[in-house]
Amino acid sequence: MSDWDASRYHRISEPQFDWGQRVIARLKPSRGECILDIGCGTGWLTQELVHAVDGGRVVGLDRSGAMIAVARASATEDGSRRALYVRGDGAWLPFSGVFDAVFSAATLHWIHDHAAVFDSVFAALGRGGRFVAQCGGEGNLDRLYGRARHLMTTAAWQRFFGDWRDPWYFADADTSARRLTAAGFVEVETSLEDAPVDLKTAPLFAEFVSCVCLRHTLDRLPLGQRDAFMSEVTGEYARDPQPFVLDYRRLNIHARKAA
């Protein structure tokens, strides 16, 4: 499977940045803290954390080499205090007891094993450390993925998706709370919230969805047929009463490691 088009993602990911800023507000980072950003992407939010800790330390971690490369380049270009960017897997963190907080935005739904993530985050935190995150939750993008799945079963496309497995996992709040508690966390709070995104026009919709939401789906198709698939999806949304609105639903996580 191809890596992310990180430069393109950096340019169009305003919804993820806006959600992430609200997660940072819930995290309440303090001066001098050491914070891990799981799924740092191109580093937009990581740099926000760098400014917030003002002399502390921020580590941005992502599985994508392309994302890490853009994050490092962007940090160099803006001349600000820099995070340390490393490539790694949120379910297998190479840290033990070193962070005051672990932050994650719009990432954990790309990891199927949430129990492993929570165990790994718990191990990475120091005593009293907090875990504040948001990702796609139960019901996220049901309309979009339902339409895409229907297309994938039609005669024109089904030969490309015979062994298809969703690369995303959208957990519910109760199951997430149980997994966090099982990992050892206390003061566990989880909730779901609707966060629709209006992309307004067909070109904006097609660019965003092809880069972010249906990247893995389009990877299955020959290059010359990807636009045709996206055209069918975009056409369905154009006929909606509210065209080009994505039905995002977010899972909020807040938990703490006992002191």
Tens-place pLDDT, residues 189-207: 999 999 999 999 999 999 9
Query: Does residue 237 lie within any of the structural domains?
Result: no
- Asked whether residue 173 is domain-assigned, the answer is yes
Residue 74 lies in a domain: yes
Asked if residue 153 belongs to a domain, the reply is no
Q: Let me know if residue 42 belongs to a domain.
A: yes
In a domain, 158, yes or no: no
- What size, in residues, is the chain? 259
* Sheet of strand 84-87, all strands in order from the earlier edge strand to the far edge: 84-87, 57-62, 34-38, 99-105, 125-136, 249-256, 186-194
Range of the domain at 48: 6-140+167-197+248-256
Q: Contact at 8 Å (CB) between 61 and 90?
A: yes
The pLDDT tens digits for 227-245 are 999 999 999 999 999 999 9
Under DSSP, the state recorded for 245 is: E
CATH classification of the domain holding 135: 3.40.50.150
pLDDT tens-digit readout, 101-115: 999 999 999 999 999
Asked whether residue 81 carries a pLDDT value surpassing 70, the answer given is no
> pLDDT by residue (tens digit) across 146-157?
999 999 999 999
Q: What pTM was estimated for this model as a whole?
A: 0.95
Q: Is residue 102 included in any domain, yes or no?
A: yes
SS3 172: coil
- Please tell me the total count of domains within the chain: 1
Instruction: Assess if residue 224 is contained within a domain.
Output: no
User: Containing H/E element for 60?
Assistant: strand 57-62
